[in-house]
Each structure stands twice: as C-alpha cells, then as structure tokens.
Amino acid sequence: MTGLPKKTLLRVLNGESLKTPPVWLMRQAGRYLPEYKATRATAGGFLDLCYSPDHAVEVTLQPIRRFGFDAAILFADILLVPQALGADLWFETGEGPRLSQIESREDFARLKPASEIHDTLAPVYETVRRLSSELPAETTLIGFAGAPWTVATYMIAGRGTPDQGPARRMMYNDRALFSDLIDLITDATIAYLAKQVEAGAEVIKIFDSWAGALSGSAFEDFALKPAQRIAQALKAQFPGLPIIGFPRGVGGGYMQFAKSGDFDALALDSSVPAEWARDYLQPHVAVQGNLDPMLMVTGGPRLRVEVERLREILGDGRWIFNLGHGITPEADPRNVEELLNIIRG
C-alpha cells in the first residue's frame, strides 16, 4: 500500500482526523432493506446467498447504492469458517444457526486442517474480487471473520447460547482440547482473511461478539492473544493493512486491545462511554461507533441529539461513525437517510 489514501475510511485508519467522519453500519446489507429481502427470496436459503457471488455482490452493493456509505463490508457469515473446516452447518427458520458439535477429541479429529478450507470458501473470494472492481472508487471494501473465541462458542454448543456456557465449561474442563480448537480456528482465520485481502479487501475487521463472556486470564488467552496473532500474521504478509478489532462487551478490556499496537481501530459496542473512549482509546487507535442501533428503529428528535453528542465527544479525534452493534431488521431506511443527513450536513 503506497501513497496517501484518498478514501475517507482509509484516511482515518492511517491516522487522520476528519471533520466529517466516514460512515458505514454493521449489517448494513440486511433485512431492513426491501431490496435485500427480494434478493434473498430469489437466492433460496441464507447459505445459498452467502455462497452465490452473484447474490452476495448484489446485497453488498445495495446499501452503497441507496445510501452512499463510505465502506462496504463483504456479505458473508462468521460460521462459514467452521463449515469449511468440516462442521455441518444449517439454519433453522426463526431460530438461527445450527452446527454439528465439537464435544470430544474424536469430534475435533474429524475436522480438516486449516490448509483445506479454500475449496469451500472459493465463492467468498470470488465475491470479494467482484466487489473490488464494482464498488465506487471512493468506497472502501472491508473483509471480515469471526474471532476464534466467538466461532468456538458456536462449534462447541452447536448453536448460540445465552452465556456461552458450553464453551466456557470445555475451557475449564479440557483446556488442551479447547486450546487446540482455538488454534485451529485461528490458523484457518488467518488463511481465510489473507485470501480476502489477495482478492481485494482493503481493511479487515475481526468480530468477537461474545468476548464479554471471558474474564481474567481467559480473556487474555482466548480473546486478546488469538486476535493479536491474526492481526500480526496479516500485517506481516500485507504491510500497512488496516485492522479493526471488535471485542464486544469487554469493558475495560478494550484498553488491552488499544495498547497492544496490533489494531488500527476498535469498534465500540453501545455500552462503552464515549468520553472514556476519547480519553483512553483514541490516543492509541481510531475508534468506531457507537450509536445505539435502536435509534435506527425509532428515529425522531433523539437521533439528532445522540449523533451530535457523539460528534461533540469523539469528533476531534480519529473517529469512524457506526452503530454499537448491527442494524436490526426492524430499522427504518428513512432513519438511516436522516442519520446520514445529520452526519454529512
């Protein structure tokens, strides 16, 4: 990566503070958009949508066409990696993902090595290649993966769980097996993300949605260190590659991510006080966030109040505007338009 970046997101990730922050929204391609629902209906199931480059490119581009966000994020799912490792994956209507469980050393032994994931994931790389050529020149392309801990919680439980109990039990009862699973997912994630970058992704984001379930040494060993290993490996292979971490729900643990030096930005969940982020995180990294996603449902005068509040607190530093988590299916696209009007003036 040579020269000074022209794209606003890359400028902030390279250290600039901009008067008008770059804007994109987690899950910006999704069920709140009628055009997404129409494409989803023609694609078939959710996994068909992820593995069809024609459909995945289309739904990734839809919010860019409609809103002109400063970044597009690849349309995929964090559970494609375990599927590529050999886990069975399916989606139950109205209930979310289901996977074959890893509960024993025998289950683990049936998984593939990280080097064998690429045949399954080849359609994802093709989607990235097409997006790289089809996006507007000013729009940054973000690739992503789930962090090893969050992916492991699904692989062990076979589904989402309220407290990540099955994964935490394995972590304490069979640390060797748990560590081996984390290491395998980490290796696979590095390989997966490297292929995304080779295909044209300009920024990588690592989603650790359930990092807040870990504490103490477990947080360091299974949230922080694997994310660092991914970031370090990618930066060694692609010098200058910007990486955004999202250790959702870790509170003060954000400081360890910020001070590690391995991340160019941190995405803040809605619970992180903006003043604290300004004082303790922005001196080290760019920050992204962290408007309550419910305001995309409700809109109204409070939307402007909360956006302006974030601008007042974070706007003088390195800041990327986003939500504190993904936009929900109940969101009103008109509220997204109003959001952009407020930010961009």
Whether the predicted pLDDT of 345 surpasses 60: yes
Q: What 8-state DSSP symbol labels residue 23?
A: B
If you average pLDDT over residues 281-307, what whole number do you get? 98
The total number of structural domains in the chain stands at: 1
The answer for residues whose C-beta is within 8 angstroms of residue 323's C-beta and 6 or more apart is 25, 26, 270, 289, 290, 291, 292, 293, 296
Q: Could you tell me the pLDDT band of residue 167, with boundaries at 50, 70 and 90?
A: very high
In order, the DSSP letters of 275-322 are: HHIIIIITTTSEEE--B-TTHHHH-SHHHHHHHHHHHHHHTTSSEEB-
Number of other CB atoms surrounding residue 121 within 10 Å: 21
The CATH number of whichever domain residue 75 belongs to comes to 3.20.20.210
Number of other CB atoms surrounding residue 183 within 10 Å: 14
What percent of the chain is predicted at pLDDT more than 90? 96
* Unique residue bearing structure tokens 């400063």: 70
Per residue in 185-220, pLDDT tens? 999 999 999 999 999 999 999 999 999 999 999 999
| 2 within domain boundaries | no
| 3 within domain boundaries | no
Beta strands in 58-158 (DSSP E): 71-73, 89-92, 96-99, 140-146
Q: Could you tell me the pLDDT band of residue 165, with boundaries at 50, 70 and 90?
A: very high
**Domain span including residue 193:** 8-344
| 152 within domain boundaries | yes
| 1 within domain boundaries | no
CA–CA gap between residue 153 and residue 262 (Å, rounded): 24
Return the bridge partners of 268, or none. none
Per residue in 46-73, pLDDT tens? 999 999 999 999 999 999 999 999 999 9
C-alpha pair distances (Å), 124 with each of 88, 94, 102, 146: 18, 25, 25, 15
Q: Which residues are catalytic?
A: 27, 31, 40, 77, 154
| 261 within domain boundaries | yes
| 182 within domain boundaries | yes
CA–CA gap between residue 270 and residue 34 (Å, rounded): 26
Whether the predicted pLDDT of 1 surpasses 70: no
| 318 within domain boundaries | yes
Per residue in 242-267, pLDDT tens? 999 999 999 999 999 999 999 999 99
Q: Which two tokens stand for residue 303?
A: 């939307």
| 336 within domain boundaries | yes
Q: Could you tell me the pLDDT band of residue 94, with boundaries at 50, 70 and 90?
A: confident
The answer for residues whose C-beta is within 8 angstroms of residue 276's C-beta and 6 or more apart is none
